[in-house]
Structure 1
Amino acid sequence: MTHKTVLITGASGGFGKAFTKRFLQEGYQVIATVRNEDKKSIVLDGLSEEQLKRLSFVLLDVTDEQSIVQFQVFLRKINRIDILINNAGFAVAGFTEELTISEYKMQFDTNFFGVIRVTNAVLPLMRSQGFGRIINISSISGLIGFPALSPYASSKHALEGYSESLRLEVKSFGIDVILIEPGSFQTNIWSSGTYLSKKAGHPNSPYKSLFSSMNERMLAESQRYGDPFLVANLVVSIATSNKTPSLRYTVGKGVKLSLFVKHLLPWKIWERLVLRQLNGKGKR
């Protein structure tokens, strides 16, 4: 392959589709992974004939060991991978008391262990070629915990620690590890594409009031969520830069301010502010 190559997991998702299109626009050879054949049409929408020539698909379920084995077989046929974007992921939403351990395991199996499986499969190739950039799509939830998202926030916090350690391990091989930490980008934790606990919002739930106030707030703010292509543009700029990338990049409206305030304020004041915004009970 004469073009630089990027491998994108979860290519049919909002970010994944944006990443695919932007890297094709930059002239990359794009390997897009999807969980099933039906997802291909989502990725293909809006692409030019020339771009389609540089796009290839691989079926991959990051939670399935046999699928990973087949993925490793595919990788043996590849000459190079310049960029790996670990994007496959989803959110488990619900209140901690009402969630099961199985639901937490399901969350980690994709968002955390899935990243490790794919990265371990790609690392031998990157080490042998002596270069590469691994871009892990984290979240502001990897830095700030939010109610009703403890499985998701926990998985992203774990991804942050894993990426920091991995970066130090592979630096000497010419490989950089980067974390992208987006805020809210046209997603809603209660909407489709998110696993919502069956007990969340139940009339008998002790968290019914909090659920309702959070849901109303998120629906009201959803129109202000950012365009996924803002994140895609950032990722492309990191991938194509000749400079050594930093470990962390935050992106999204209000993200940097939120992180600054959280680190600046004592926890009691931060807690009061968050609760006040969520349900007006922050003065307790």
Structure 2
Amino acid sequence: MAKLVLITGTSSGIGLSAAIECAAAGHKVVATMRDLARREALEQAAKARGVSVDIEQLDVTSSSAGDKIRELVLKYGPFFALVNNAGIAIGGPFEEQSEEDVRLQLETNVLGLMATTRAILPSMRSAGRGRILNVSSTSGRVAMPCLSIYAATKHAVEGFSEALRWEVEPFGIDVLVVAPGTFRTPIFFENMKRGAHVADEGPYGALIRRIEDLAIGGARRAPPPDEVGRTLARLVGAPSPPFRTIVGRDGFAMTTLRGVMPDRLFALGLRRALALSRVR
């Protein structure tokens, strides 16, 4: 049965793929993005697949984000599913990230997600059904260096989702977490952002270069985000979806190892992979 689905952050990457795959699955999709000037990629992808999506402007960090969600509910009717995908990662050691870098990630990945969720819940409760899918990351369970704030936001998404799950379940609303591993998305390339004060020749320079080499190299070898989009579309329509879904072999491997290995062994492997040694 076709569902009405609202998706955030659809100008590229996972959000774009989710919008196309949900539409291809027969759902009515309202795809939102902060900057409508970037809608062309989504429009071209929809045309290539022979599907249609409605595109709306939404900046989840805006103080009016909640009002915009309520406007969309009035315009389209009560949404069955909300896919909270909008997110940003700013790389670099914590010490070299500015206050603005920190706040932007928190406001987008956590507070923005909460604002859209809070605004849509009343209509879902009234309808007696609904499904909120929060896009997390492997970083929601395994925190890597030079992504400390991003990892903190995704840990927050995981904790928020788990608690909210129990609050809204009596009203017929499901809360799900989807945790992708590494996929070839713009976040690793043209959308990659560095902290304001990151210095290649600073005290963290060697670590930064190593992390960036690993991240970009891994992203080049990674598959496109279509698997994540298909997973989100499947979960929208699934009769009894699991609370947490990991997508990607590397994400599953890292999360599993972190859960079963003693910290000393896991840390030893990470130090070797990153060629870390203590500064004396």
| Amino acid corresponding to residue 175 of structure 1 in structure 2 | I
Structure 2 residue aligned with 1:96: 94
Structure 2 residue aligned with 1:38: 37
Structure 1 residue aligned with 2:158: 160
Distance change >3 Å, CA 82–CA 230, structure 1 → 2: same
145-154 vs 189-198, which moves further? 189-198
58-67 vs 132-141, which moves further? 58-67
- Aligned counterparts of 1:47 and 1:258: Cα–Cα separation in 2: 33
| Amino acid corresponding to residue 28 of structure 2 in structure 1 | Q
Corresponding pairs, count? 278
Identity of paired residues, percent? 32
Is the CA contact 2:101–2:196 (under 8 Å) kept in the aligned structure 1? no
Is the CA contact 2:84–2:132 (under 8 Å) kept in the aligned structure 1? yes
- Aligned counterparts of 1:73 and 1:47: Cα–Cα separation in 2: 24
Distance change >3 Å, CA 237–CA 211, structure 1 → 2: same
Structure 2 residue aligned with 1:276: 272
Is the CA contact 1:201–1:212 (under 8 Å) kept in the aligned structure 2? no
> Following TM superposition, by how much is the alpha carbon of 1:51 offset from its aligned partner in structure 2, in angstroms?
2.3
Structure 2 residue aligned with 1:182: 180
Secondary structure of residue in 1 paired with 2:30? strand
Q: Please report the RMSD computed on the Cα atoms of aligned residues, expressed in angstroms.
A: 2.0
| Aligned pairs (5 A) from 1:252-267 | 252-267=248-263
Is the CA contact 1:187–1:225 (under 8 Å) kept in the aligned structure 2? no
Structure 1 residue aligned with 2:21: 22
Structure 2 residue aligned with 1:9: 8
- Aligned counterparts of 1:174 and 1:73: Cα–Cα separation in 2: 23
**Among 238, 242, 247, which residue is 1:246 paired with?**
242
| Amino acid corresponding to residue 43 of structure 2 in structure 1 | L
Is the CA contact 1:210–1:278 (under 8 Å) kept in the aligned structure 2? yes
- Aligned counterparts of 2:250 and 2:58: Cα–Cα separation in 1: 34
88-97 vs 181-190, which moves further? 181-190
| Amino acid corresponding to residue 27 of structure 2 in structure 1 | Y
> Following TM superposition, by how much is the alpha carbon of 1:216 offset from its aligned partner in structure 2, in angstroms?
2.2
Larger RCO, structures 1/2 (Cα 8 Å, 6+ apart): 2
| Amino acid corresponding to residue 222 of structure 2 in structure 1 | Y
| Amino acid corresponding to residue 13 of structure 2 in structure 1 | G
| Amino acid corresponding to residue 220 of structure 1 in structure 2 | G
Q: Mind listing any 5+ residue stretches in structure 2 that lack a counterpart?
A: none
Matched, 1:220 2:230: no
Is the CA contact 2:200–2:208 (under 8 Å) kept in the aligned structure 1? no
For residues 11-30 of structure 1, give each alpha carbon's deviation from its aligned partner in whole angstroms, at most 9, with x where no partner exists.
Answer: 11201110111111111111
263-272 vs 67-76, which moves further? 67-76
Distance change >3 Å, CA 189–CA 59, structure 1 → 2: closer
For residues 257-277 of structure 1, give each alpha carbon's deviation from its aligned partner in whole angstroms, at most 9, with x where no partner exists.
Answer: 222221222212211111110
| Amino acid corresponding to residue 106 of structure 1 in structure 2 | L
167-176 vs 22-31, which moves further? 22-31
Distance change >3 Å, CA 274–CA 188, structure 1 → 2: farther
> Following TM superposition, by how much is the alpha carbon of 1:212 offset from its aligned partner in structure 2, in angstroms?
1.6
> Following TM superposition, by how much is the alpha carbon of 1:236 offset from its aligned partner in structure 2, in angstroms?
1.6
- Aligned counterparts of 1:230 and 1:91: Cα–Cα separation in 2: 21
> Following TM superposition, by how much is the alpha carbon of 1:188 offset from its aligned partner in structure 2, in angstroms?
7.2
> Following TM superposition, by how much is the alpha carbon of 1:100 offset from its aligned partner in structure 2, in angstroms?
2.6
Is the CA contact 2:271–2:277 (under 8 Å) kept in the aligned structure 1? yes
TM-score, length-scaled by structure 1: 0.91
165-174 vs 224-233, which moves further? 224-233
Is the CA contact 1:190–1:196 (under 8 Å) kept in the aligned structure 2? no
2-11 vs 101-110, which moves further? 2-11
For residues 95-115 of structure 1, give each alpha carbon's deviation from its aligned partner in whole angstroms, at most 9, with x where no partner exists.
Answer: 011123332111100000000
Is the CA contact 1:226–1:252 (under 8 Å) kept in the aligned structure 2? no
162-171 vs 185-194, which moves further? 185-194
TM-score, length-scaled by structure 2: 0.93
Secondary structure of residue in 2 paired with 1:51? coil
